Homo-oligomer: A and B are copies of this chain.
């Protein structure tokens, strides 16, 4: 009924582009990938978009602005998902991406503000390499089983509390209590490393400059205190360094 009274408003591609803030090329592209086909064409072959097309374009642009790929957008529309459902799905990826970006930023910050002054290039390169090896290892572990890593995180938090108490009591890291706590840390480290000595070595190199960010309660200073305690432990045992 309404469509009789309200004649179809049809816009040419340039008008639509100006009205919505996209380029003409973008509209060409959306047609090419089958995302937005104009309702019709003039005799001369010029595209004509109607109201439905305009609404569809707004939705596409909205989802693109929130970071969805054109494929995501297409799936969302084709499968008739609600907007909230679509956003909820996308949020998962956005969380990952934000975590990745902030982790990278924090790593760079720490490497830049290494108090030791200008480190030699060799050492820095080795440290960075160790970091990415550890990241891969942690990633593989995480997707293997997740419950275990939560338990480990809790144990690390508990250890941080006790170690900080020990440090604030003015005890030497090589004292009896420090060594006892270091032994617990070593057990956690070996569990994380799953018997790979490279991982243990990488951890030793990296942890002072880049403490794992999922370990709340640990800061570089506490990490150095642990390092000294671990040193005391291995010297005492007389065993191999790991």
Which residues in A have some Cβ–Cβ distance to B below 8 Å? 58-59, 61-63, 65-67, 82-84, 87-88, 90-91, 94-95, 97-98, 100-102, 104-105, 107-109, 111-112, 114, 118-119, 121, 124-126, 128-129, 131-132
Contacts and interface: CB of A to CB of B under 8 A. Distances in A.
B91 A112 contact: yes
B65 A131 contact: yes
B97 A105 contact: yes
A2 to B, nearest CB: 17
Contacts of A125: 58-59, 62, 83
B131 A82 contact: no
9 contacts: A62-B124, A62-B125, A67-B108, A84-B112, A84-B114, A84-B124, A94-B108, A97-B104, A101-B101
A141 B110 CA distance: 31
Contacts of A66: 104, 107-108, 111, 128
A90, A98, A112, A119: residue with the most chain B Cβ atoms closer than 10 Å: A98
A228 to B, nearest CB: 26
Contact of A82 (B82, B83, B91, B118): B118
B62 A119 contact: no
A102 B104 contact: no
Contacts of A107: 66
Contacts of A108: 66-67, 87, 90-91, 94
B94 A105 contact: yes
A66 B125 CA distance: 11
A213 B6 CA distance: 43
A97 B101 contact: yes
A67 B106 CA distance: 13
A5 to B, nearest CB: 21
A210 to B, nearest CB: 11
B112 A104 contact: no
